[in-house]
Structure 1
Amino acid sequence: MQPWALVSPASRGIGLHLARHLLQNTKLPIVTTARKDLDQAKESILDGLHHVDQSRLNVLKLDVLDAASACSDLFPKKDNYLHLSYAIPGILFPEKSPQQIDHDDALLTFRTNTLGPMLMLKHFGPFLPRKSTQLSQDASLPKTAVWATMSARVGSITDNQLGGWYSYRASKAAVNQVTKTFDNHLRTASGEKAIAISLHPGTVKTSFSKEFWGGVKEGKLFSPEFSAEKLYEVVVGRTLEDRGKCWDWKGDEVPP
């Protein structure tokens, strides 16, 4: 059985650099997604990577039904399985008080941060290995297939000491619940062959967090390249005991 990887979306920021990191540090065929300008997204991911097999990269339009259908053609399930997946959509409206909560913004936050990954696991989850799948043994890959969804430390109810960011906090807390629930499903469907986890990348220097760079402590504002490297290391280092939990960029557990 041949493994492959998924990074969605990957047109910029962490996703783009995760795709680049996987191209440089694994032998996997990689599926990435972008909402538009697919050729530009592919060019950005491959920029300067002359030493890698560029045919390993597939850039698909960010529509889960169409993308999953395309993956069925690219990677027939009888011969292939999804070993490494990063479901990382994200949007933030930083409400500082309840009066700043906007219905449409909050709805978009949940649609993007929570419902987006839920639909991804619905349509791409069937590509993960089953109990009978023979996993690839490769030191550059986690020992078990991993479905990783982007969360955030502010999604931790235990760790919430500051308040604010109502819709974002709630959407990320929901992501952690989705992760745990999907991992329970994988225990039955995949046994010890696949796990689900959530990830906290820290504060990364992308357009997503630009408004907050000034308030970040020295040494705690990470480049997208550094973040991608760390999130790759965290996923590769997970074991069966780590399943269903949220892990930060250092490999430390974020409490629920």
Structure 2
Amino acid sequence: MQAWTLVTPASRGIGLEIARRLLKTTNIPLVATARKDPDQTRENILTGLDGIEQDRLHVLKVDVLDEATIELAAADCESLFPRKTNYLHLAFALPGLLFPEKSPTQISYDDALLTFRTNTLGPMMLLKHFSPLLPRKSTQLATTDGLPPQAVWATLSARVGSISDNNLGGWYSYRASKAAVNQITKTFDNHLKSSAGDKAMAISLHPGTVKTGLSKEFWGNVKKGKLFEADFAAEKLVQVVNGRQIEDRGRCWDWKGEEVPP
């Protein structure tokens, strides 16, 4: 069986850098997604990657707010990588949006709804349509340098999604949406136990505070040495995923490889 990987979205920030890292550190096909302008995203991913086989990269259009685009992209992937001879070995589901409500009076219904549609329903719809492409119990897994031993579905979460670690409050919709991501991860992993056994698992990831548009408003409040460039965060997250054992399944892990409590 042949393996392939997925990074969605990959048009900027952490997703862009994870896509670039996987192209550099593995030799298998990569599917990246962009909400708009896939050609520009392809150019951004490949810039400076001399010696990479460019036909390994496929860029598809996906808007996590539009389920039809997710369904179409999954169908395209099945055409590119038929299930009889291929399987999805590693997926990074990375959609994210933040409206930082400091008090209950700042909560906007529309902003909160958009947060949940992006941060929670987005990953849920991605796993709905792409999960059939993950291995089954009968799948013969490929051994590939730069990838974990078992297939992994990794969803971007955040430390603020931890209920037991919430000592500051605020950020109501973002915290709740990321707590929901961790619940989805656990629930999906239970499904994978039945469908794939030890051959596939789900985890969620906390990247730290990364220098992207999502966190720009808070850069000045971050302690020295704790604001990460996107390429550093990508490197660490790929290392964390590659270092997970099957007993780590269903949980949230930070960029250092330490568990984030539920």
5 Å-filtered alignment, 1:91-240, equals 91-240=97-246
5 Å-filtered alignment, 1:81-92, equals 81-92=87-98
- Residue-pair matches, total: 256
**TM-score, length basis structure 2:** 0.97
CA deviation string 1:86-125 (max 9, x = no partner): 0000000000000000000000000000000000000000
The one-letter code of the counterpart of 1:232 is V
Give the SS at the match of 1:213: helix
Name the Cα RMSD after superposition: 0.5
Counterpart position of 2:65: none
Give the SS at the match of 1:192: helix
CA deviation string 1:203-253 (max 9, x = no partner): 001111110000000000001000000000000000111000000000000
Alpha-carbon separation, structure 2, partners of 1:57 and 1:220: 32
Asked whether the equivalents of residues 26 and 145 of structure 2 are also in contact (C-alpha less than 8 Å), the reply is no
Q: Which runs of 5+ in 2 are unaligned?
A: 63-68
The one-letter code of the counterpart of 2:15 is G
Alpha-carbon separation, structure 2, partners of 1:117 and 1:246: 15
Counterpart position of 1:65: 71
Counterpart position of 1:18: 18
Q: Which runs of 5+ in 1 are unaligned?
A: none
Give the SS at the match of 1:136: coil
Asked whether the equivalents of residues 25 and 145 of structure 2 are also in contact (C-alpha less than 8 Å), the reply is no
The one-letter code of the counterpart of 2:104 is P
**TM-score, length basis structure 1:** 0.99
Q: Does 1:251 align with 2:253?
A: no
Structure 1 residue runs of 4+, over 2 Å off?
none
Counterpart position of 1:36: 36
Alpha-carbon separation, structure 1, partners of 2:145 and 2:72: 32
Answer with 227-236 or 134-143: which moved more: 134-143
